[in-house]
Every structure is written in structure tokens, then in C-alpha cells.
């Protein structure tokens, strides 16, 4: 009888000891959390992380990747990689950040040998921020021009247009049919096309007004990278507006981000739903959606398709940049990180599929209008967002409204990703120099100013290149 009583007494003492230890850890963690700040609610954290993960790669990259790698069949490798590769890595970064309560550069302090991993994350994030903000400036530029009575990418009567300009894809098809057979015409609107005034073997004879607006008005492409050219003041002002929006959202750190994301993380879904409904009501819209989801199971035997699916998962979720670690570091110690990881991962994958339906609904309508196969208007990246889509929306009644909705959606998508990425760098600075916590606003302003000045290099006259997209 004495032995069981003694064991019970020891067990009780052990439990009491564990409780005290846990409370001590919680109190200590609470002091650090109070100094750095915490999310106002788990909803704010989830919306911020979803906004960080769901970006241009979901809207402008996934639809093209999906269709060229098996259509509906591509969902098999994509979902497999999402659950087997993306979710575990996502969960790992969330756990690391939440457990240590530090930013991306300092969670590796437990093993100084690999602290360079965190520094590398910050270097990558800092570099991405500089050029990715330019994408938002392009969207702002298009949004402003969308408020005009006549959309400038629907007419060939502008100063930047060439003699080879045609107003839309339908007229370009008609013009191309009149060209002699010995002249090869590339009717693709891919942004990597080498545009010149002369006609060559692999050059485009006719350019749509939307393509020329993008190439000659927005970018003012030069003859090569060695010719930098001057700064386009219109794009520079749009870039300034972009950084003013970012600074306004980060002025109080996660306290201000948590409130902004209620709008910026949810409104893109509202816009996508509106565009989907409108796209399905257009001639050719349903056919475009069917073309998108039609499976080609033969592609599943190609190893490259599985590699592409894995790359797209990493593109979307954004591990390795430090953003997931930094955002999780503002969670309380006992937050349900597994639940959060599952919700965010599934939301990212579902958003890609949803965006694909919207994109192909309008591509189908555009192909129907131009009487061409949908693959002739199929594009990815900037070509889809700033050439194909503006021309497709211009064919609708009241095109100004649809264009504004689309580009506001792009602005929100880019801004959401930038919020977390910029906060990743700033939180690392404040973690390293804790005395700067009370000077957070000046530190944020200084960082935004430096990034804006560095980003001016992308507002000069430039040669069009393929721009990688964050998330």
C-alpha cells in the first residue's frame, strides 16, 4: 500500500513541476511576444498567410502550366506534390517560427553553423521585393489608364503605335490570312517575341494594339540591355504609389497588416467570382473552361510533368523566403500550427484551380471572337496579365469597369505578397537591433524608401524579359 501511495505522490509532484515549468515558459514567452507583438486573432494570421501564398503565380502562371501539362490530369501530380511536399515543408517553417518566436534570420541561432540559411532567406526576399513591386506599379499604371473614355490598348491611333498595329486578335487573324504563304507569321502573343519593324523568319508581322501598348508605351523597350535609357516618370510615380500603400499597411507592423488583409486578401476572390460568372456567360467561355479541365492522362507518364507540379507548388506556397517563418513568429506559443498549415495549403491549391477557370473562360471567349484555336491566345506571366486579359476585357460592354476590377485584383494580389515579404526583412532588422523597436515607423519608412530607389532601375526604358513571379 505504501508503494502505490508513494508512486502517486511522486506523479503528483511531477505534474505540479511540469505545470510550473510550462507556466514559467509561457510567462517568459509572453514577455517576448508582448515586445514583438501578436496577431489580433487567428483569422488575421490566416488571411495574411493566404494572401502571402496566393499571388500572381496562381492567376497568371498556374492556368498555363496546368493546360500544357495535361489539363485536368495535371491536378493529380499537383495535389500529390501539394500534400506530400508542400504541406510538410509549410508546416515545418510554421513550427520553427512559432516555436522560437523570432524572424527568419534568428530562428537558426540554435545552430550558428546554419545561421547563414536565414541570412540567405533575407537576401532573396530583399531582392524579390525590389522587382516584384514593379509588377504592382504596372497594375497601377493599367488601372489608371482603364479610367479613360477610350482604352488606349484598343486603338492603333496612338503615338506609340506602329504601322503593323491591328486593333485586336480578330483583325490580326484577318490580316494574317492576306499575307503570302512564303511569309511566315507568328500569331502568338507570347511576351518573349522579338518585336521589330521588319519582318523576319520568326518575327511577328502584325501586333495587336494591346501588345504594342505593353511593349512600346508601358515598357518603352530599348534595343538591348546595354541601353538603359531614362526613367519613365509615369511608371516611377506608380511605383511610388505602390510603396506608399505598402508603408501605410506596415506602419504598425502586424497590427496594421492584420486589419488591411481583411480587404486585400478577400476582395480578389470576390473579383474572381464576378469575372468567372461574366466569363461563363460569354460565347466560347464554357468551351474555354472545358478545354482547361479536359485531362490528358498520357502526360502523367512524363517525369517532367511531376517536376513542374512540384515547382508550381513551391512557387505558390513560397517556402524558403522566410515569410512563413516570420508570420508564424507572431503567433502565440500554443496556436494550432498544424490546423493553420492545412488550411493555408488547401486554400492556396484551391485558389490556383479557381483562377484557372476564370482565366480560361475569358481565353475561350477571346478565341471564339477571333475565330482561332485557344492555344493561339494561350500565354503565361506578364503576357497573360498585361496583353491577353486587357484585350479580352476590352471586348465587353463597359470595358472600363471590368478592366478596373481586374487590375485592382492584381494590385491586391501583389500587395498581399509584398506585405509579408517586406515584414520579413523588417522583423529581422528589429530582432537583431531590439532597441529599434520604438523606432519602428522610421525604420519601415527608411526601408521602403531604399527599396523604392532601387526599384527605379525597373522603370527605365527596358528590354522585355521574362519576369519570375513570387507566389
Above 70 in pLDDT, residue 427?
yes
- The number of folded domains in the chain is 1
Span 417-421, average pLDDT: 92
Residue 418 falls within a domain, yes or no? Answer: yes
Residue 55 falls within a domain, yes or no? Answer: no
Residue 146 falls within a domain, yes or no? Answer: yes
Binned at pLDDT 50, 70 and 90, residue 190 comes out as very low
* The pLDDT value given to residue 34: 55
Residue 187 — φ and ψ, nearest 5°? Answer: -90, 5
More confident residue, 294 or 221: 294
Residue 110 falls within a domain, yes or no? Answer: yes
Residue 8 falls within a domain, yes or no? Answer: no
The chain-wide mean pLDDT, for the chain, equals 81
User: Closest by alpha carbon to 386, among 277, 245, 235, 204?
Assistant: 235
* The pLDDT value given to residue 188: 40
Residue 26 falls within a domain, yes or no? Answer: no
Per-residue pLDDT of 46-97, as tens digits, reads: 999 999 999 888 888 898 898 888 888 999 999 999 999 999 999 999 999 9
Residue 470 falls within a domain, yes or no? Answer: no
User: Which structural domain range is residue 370 located in?
Assistant: 62-459
* The pLDDT value given to residue 371: 83
Span 333-359, average pLDDT: 93
Residue 156 falls within a domain, yes or no? Answer: yes
* The pLDDT value given to residue 173: 60
User: Closest by alpha carbon to 316, among 390, 413, 409?
Assistant: 413
The span from the CA of 292 to the CA of 377, in Å, is 13
Cα 33 from chain centroid?
29
Residue 398: burial class (beta carbons within 10 Å; 0-12, 13-18, 19+):
exposed
Least confident of 4-8, 373-377, 437-441: 4-8
Judge whether 444 and 426 are in contact, CB under 8 Å: yes
User: Closest by alpha carbon to 39, among 447, 340, 338, 432?
Assistant: 340
In the chain, the percentage of residues whose pLDDT exceeds 70 is: 81
More confident residue, 224 or 258: 258
Above 50 in pLDDT, residue 26?
no
Amino acid at each position: 500500500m505504501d508503494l502505490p501511495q508513494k508512486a502517486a505522490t511522486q506523479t503528483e509532484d511531477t505534474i505540479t513541476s511540469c505545470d510550473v515549468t510550462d507556466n514559467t515558459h509561457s510567462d517568459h514567452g509572453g514577455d517576448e511576444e508582448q515586445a514583438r507583438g501578436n496577431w489580433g486573432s487567428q483569422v488575421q494570421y490566416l488571411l495574411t498567410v493566404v494572401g502571402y501564398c496566393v499571388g500572381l503565380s496562381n492567376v497568371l502562371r498556374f492556368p498555363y502550366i496546368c493546360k500544357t501539362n495535361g489539363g485536368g490530369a495535371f491536378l493529380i501530380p499537383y495535389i500529390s506534390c501539394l500534400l506530400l511536399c508542400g504541406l510538410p515543408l509549410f508546416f515545418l517553417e510554421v513550427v520553427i517560427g512559432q516555436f522560437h518566436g523570432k524572424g527568419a534570420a534568428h530562428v537558426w541561432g540554435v545552430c550558428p553553423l546554419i545561421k547563414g540559411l536565414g541570412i540567405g532567406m533575407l537576401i532573396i526576399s530583399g531582392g524579390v521585393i525590389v522587382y516584384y513591386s514593379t509588377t504592382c506599379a504596372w497594375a497601377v499604371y493599367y488601372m489608371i489608364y482603364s479610367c479613360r473614355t477610350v482604352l488606349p490598348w484598343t486603338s492603333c491611333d496612338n503615338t506609340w503605335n506602329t504601322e503593323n498595329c491591328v486593333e485586336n486578335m480578330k483583325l490580326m487573324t484577318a490580316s494574317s490570312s492576306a499575307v503570302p504563304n512564303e511569309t511566315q507569321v507568328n500569331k502568338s502573343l507570347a511576351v518573349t517575341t522579338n518585336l521589330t519593324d521588319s519582318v523576319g523568319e520568326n518575327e511577328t508581322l502584325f501586333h495587336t494594339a494591346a501588345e504594342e501598348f505593353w511593349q512600346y508605351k508601358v515598357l518603352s523597350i530599348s534595343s538591348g540591355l546595354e541601353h538603359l535609357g531614362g526613367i519613365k516618370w509615369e511608371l516611377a510615380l506608380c511605383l511610388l504609389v505602390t510603396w506608399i500603400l505598402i508603408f501605410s499597411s506596415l506602419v504598425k507592423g502586424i497590427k496594421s497588416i492584420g486589419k488591411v488583409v481583411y480587404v486585400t486578401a478577400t476582395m480578389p476572390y470576390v473579383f474572381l467570382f464576378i469575372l468567372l460568372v461574366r466569363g461563363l456567360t460569354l460565347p466560347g467561355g464554357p468551351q474555354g473552361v472545358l478545354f482547361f479541365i479536359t485531362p490528358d492522362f498520357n502526360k502523367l507518364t512524363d517525369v517532367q510533368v511531376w517536376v513542374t507540379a512540384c515547382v508550381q507548388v513551391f512557387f505558390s506556397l513560397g517556402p524558403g523566403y522566410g515569410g512563413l517563418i516570420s508570420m508564424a513568429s507572431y503567433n502565440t506559443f500554443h496556436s494550432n500550427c498544424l490546423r493553420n498549415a492545412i488550411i493555408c495549403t488547401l486554400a492556396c491549391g484551391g485558389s490556383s484551380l479557381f483562377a484557372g477557370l476564370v482565366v480560361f473562360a475569358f481565353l475561350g471567349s477571346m478565341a471564339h471572337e477571333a475565330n482561332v484555336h485557344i492555344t493561339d491566345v494561350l500565354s503565361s506571366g506578364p503576357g497573360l496579365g498585361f496583353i491577353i486579359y486587357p484585350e479580352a476585357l476590352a471586348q465587353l460592354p463597359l470595358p472600363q469597369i471590368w478592366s478596373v476590377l481586374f487590375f485592382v485584383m492584381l494590385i491586391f494580389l501583389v500587395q498581399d505578397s509584398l506585405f509579408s515579404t517586406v515584414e520579413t526583412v523588417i522583423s529581422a532588422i528589429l530582432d537583431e537591433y531590439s532597441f529599434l523597436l520604438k523606432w519602428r515607423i522610421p525604420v519601415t519608412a527608411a526601408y521602403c524608401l531604399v527599396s523604392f530607389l532601387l526599384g527605379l532601375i525597373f522603370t527605365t526604358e527596358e528590354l522585355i524579359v521574362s519576369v519570375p513571379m513570387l507566389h
